[in-house]
Amino acid sequence: MLSLRTSTGNGPASVRELAARTRMPPPISLQAVMVAMNIEEFHSKNLGLLTVGSPVGPLTRGANDSFHQSYTFGSIVKPLNHPPEIASRFLVLLEVAGIRCFGTDDPSGTDEPYLISTVYALDPIRGEESLQTIRIGPDDIGPISPPKVFAQGRQLVDKGKAFFIPGDGEIRIHLALFDAENGDPNEIKNKMSSSAQVALGAAIAAIPGIGPAAAVLAKSSGLLEIASNDIGELVSDLLADDLIDQHDFVVHSNLLLAAARDAQSLHRTSDSIPGIAYNFPQLKEDDSAEGRSWLFDRGSGKGTYRIFLGLRVVEVPAFPDV
């Protein structure tokens, strides 16, 4: 990771230190050293670890005397005669590969299921925009009975809103599955969205606006846990009779990188959703503790479902102002 000190300090020794940090082979031009310092300062002031992540590879020269520094989740470019700018980041597309019904607890033998998903990250640049709450069903799904697979291809992230990866961080997915009986699905979705916005806003507000990015990341590491707990508690209070189950999922940075650079390595299939590929969760599907950790089960083997997701991470050439 680049040091956040922006002064060259004591002459040649500091130049060598800067070269080592940016992995620039000698001989090093004064211009390259100054550019590296400029990018380093930009990285620190923009909370780099929570924006594009840690540096990867050497500082390279591009066209028209520009310089380019790659990071784990994006890059920073220093154009000639212009300040550095974030040149690329990765964004996430997330969809339901399929939801499998294994059993219902309704005397009629059918449920009217609907899913409310909350996808969020701790991204100071995007603020509360890095949260999306989406409802799927029940109106456009209809009665469901086993072994029905439904909601294939339904999006959990709105393509019209760029959901960017927050540096070396992670993305959280909260999934709550309901059976429409007494409550208003849209009202429940709106309450969940409002509560999640408050929880995430509090987490973002707790991020210090100054100081080394590494310290910021360390101090903020527990904030998403707090937000997750707040969302889960809210769901438990919302019409428990309608709630089938809820689970939190964490997409860690290593999985995000694999999805961006080697998507085939995450490819999975399941007999529960024959003929449909998925890549998340990367967990066992059995009766072990791990296997049951993503089983949506109202109890006694009734009202039982699994949700399979498709995660896609794509690089965008510029950071759009949307």
248 falls within a domain: yes
Based on its alpha-carbon atoms, the radius of gyration of the chain, rounded to whole angstroms, reads 23
Residue 102 shares a structural domain with residue 186: yes
Q: What is the pLDDT of residues 94-104, one digit of tens each?
A: 999 999 999 98
Tens-place pLDDT, residues 65-84:
888 888 888 888 988 888 88
One domain for residues 225 and 168: yes
Answer yes or no: do 200 and 260 share one domain.
yes
Same domain as 225, residue 166: yes
Could you report the per-residue pLDDT of 242-265, keeping only the tens digit for each? 889 989 999 988 899 899 889 999
Q: Can you tell me the mean pLDDT for 9-34?
A: 54
Among residues 43, 64, 83, the one where a domain terminates is 83
Residue 88 lies in a domain: no
User: Where is average pLDDT lowest: 1-5, 15-19, 255-259?
Assistant: 1-5
Shared-domain flag, residues 51 and 131: no
In this prediction, residues 10-20 reach a mean pLDDT of: 45
Residue 244: domain span: 94-316
Dihedral, CA of residue 235, residue 236, residue 240 and residue 245, to nearest 10 = 80
In a domain, 235, yes or no: yes
Mean pLDDT of the region 226-246: 74
Do residues 50 and 71 both lie within one domain? yes
Query: Considering only CA atoms, which of 142, 65, 150 is closest in space to residue 111?
Result: 142
Let me know if residue 268 belongs to a domain: yes
- Is 151 contained in some domain? yes
State the chain's mean pLDDT as an integer: 79
pLDDT of residue 213: 52
pLDDT at 87: 85
Residues 64 and 107 grouped into a single domain: no
pTM above 0.75, yes or no: yes
- Does residue 134 share a domain with residue 262? yes
In sequence order, what are the residues at sequence separation of 6 or more whose Cβ sits closer than 8 angstroms to the Cβ of residue 316?
Answer: 88, 89, 90, 91, 162
In terms of domains, do 154 and 272 share one? Answer: yes
> Distance (Å, rounded) from C-alpha 135 to C-alpha 157?
11
Q: How far is CA 156 from CA 93, 103, 141, in A?
A: 8, 24, 16
Is the pLDDT confidence value at 208 over 70? no
**Domain termination residue (choose one: 42, 61, 83):** 83
Whether 118 has a pLDDT exceeding 80, the answer reads yes
Residue 134: inside a domain = yes
Phi-psi region of 112 (alpha: psi -120 to 50; beta: other; left: phi over 0): beta
What band does 308 get if pLDDT is binned at 50, 70 and 90? very high
Q: Is residue 89 part of a domain?
A: no
Both 178 and 275 in one domain: the answer is yes
Residue 38 lies in a domain: yes
Report the number of distinct structural domains present in the chain.
Answer: 2
CB 96 within 8 A of CB 278: no
Query: End of a domain among 62, 83, 104?
Result: 83
